[in-house]
Amino acid sequence: VIERIVRCVQDVIDECDLKMDQVRGIGIGAPGSVDSAKGVVSFAPNLGWHDVSIAKELSKQLDVPVFLENDCTVSMLGVYHVELQAKPSDVLGIFIGTGIGGGMIIGGQIYRGFTGCAGELGHMVIDIHGPKCGCGNQGCFEALASRTALFQQIRAAVKEGQDTLLTEMLGRDLEDMRSGDLRKAIRRGDKLVARIVKEAAEHTGIAVANLANILGPEMILMGGGVIEALDQEMMPVITKTARDHAMDGALKDVQIVASQLGDHAGITGAAFLARRELSKGSR
């Protein structure tokens, strides 16, 4: 993975007609628990990583400072500082992609907790008898509503012989399936995909209600590839389910919105992170 990241960075710099010595720093967002001070990915279940010194390794190979944060924290930095112009005081970001993670702004600052890994809301169990999650638990939010979960449910339904336009679009084995394919299928009237996406949105709505009850944020911002691709299909269901399930007052005057940055939240935030850390260093 690290070799591919190095090659990808070199390719991008090349495509932009830049040279490495024109790059002052690199920001990187990694999934899972991250020790940002040490630049170490402590645990990333979706990658099978334990204690990987990714920042040091990349910095050595690319000869430039590398700054690491959790991927959802990085997305949150992008959304908060660039999209929201750092205006609201308390923001909860929920990012739904391959996995599900969160970022929290409390009092205008990223909140990472004492453990440094607060915001792991994809592993909030909401269905104790639900499907197995990569983390070992059953019924985590992520096991019910991530892209991985959506694709698993669709593949299982196809195996059971249920009909979907996706097999016409992508072939029987559904290789190279993407979130955007689900949107296309739904808009062409695919009932199976519509039902599976609706259920994921309902589960997301319950997770949003849980988090609003616990955290009482000013704004809830939904992002990530799944939300970007299925914004119109999911957001109305998420919002209604959340309002039906939250305590009275927990969502009063609270906006629940899809990020305009979509899947660019991460790279925007990673750039913001590198610039901020470099400016600290130069003070």
Q: Distance between CA atoms of 124 and 137, rounded to whole angstroms? A: 9
Q: Between 191-215 and 147-159, two packed helices, what is the crossing angle to 10 degrees?
A: 150
Q: Distance between CA atoms of 250 and 242, rounded to whole angstroms? A: 10
Counting residues that bind its own copies (by CB under 8 A) gives 54
User: Which residue in the set 177, 203, 225, 259 belongs to the binding site for its own copies (CB under 8 A)?
Assistant: 203
Nearest distance in Å: CB 274, its own copies: 24
User: Which residue in the set 186, 197, 211, 230 belongs to the binding site for its own copies (CB under 8 A)?
Assistant: 211
Binding of its own copies by 37 (CB under 8 A): no
SS3 assignment, position 279: helix
Binding of its own copies by 137 (CB under 8 A): yes
- Which part of the chain contacts its own copies (CB under 8 A), choosing from 59-67, 83-91, 226-234, 272-280? 83-91
Binding of its own copies by 47 (CB under 8 A): no
Nearest distance in Å: CB 218, its own copies: 4
Instruction: Give the position of tokens 């907790």.
Output: 113
Binding of its own copies by 262 (CB under 8 A): no
Nearest distance in Å: CB 247, its own copies: 5
Binding of its own copies by 102 (CB under 8 A): yes
SS3 assignment, position 79: helix
Q: Which C-beta is closer to its own copies: that of 165 or that of 242? A: 242
Q: Which C-beta is closer to its own copies: that of 25 or that of 130? A: 130
Strands of the sheet containing 255-258, edge to edge, are 109-110, 100-106, 91-96, 219-223, 255-258
Burial of 18 (0-12, 13-18, 19+ CB in 10 A): exposed
Helices (H), 188-224: 191-215
* Contact call for residues 76 and 110 (beta carbons, < 8 A): yes
User: Which residue in the set 23, 162, 169, 218 belongs to the binding site for its own copies (CB under 8 A)?
Assistant: 218
Site string for its own copies, 141-180 (x = CB under 8 A): ----------------------------------------
The answer for residues whose C-beta is within 8 angstroms of residue 264's C-beta and 6 or more apart is: 78
Q: Distance between CA atoms of 7 and 28, rounded to whole angstroms? A: 15
For residue 55, report the phi and psi dihedrals to the nearest 5 degrees.
-65, -45
Report the interface residues with its own copies, using CB under 8 A: 32-33, 42-43, 50, 88-90, 102, 106, 111-121, 123-130, 135-137, 139, 203, 206, 209-218, 245, 247-254
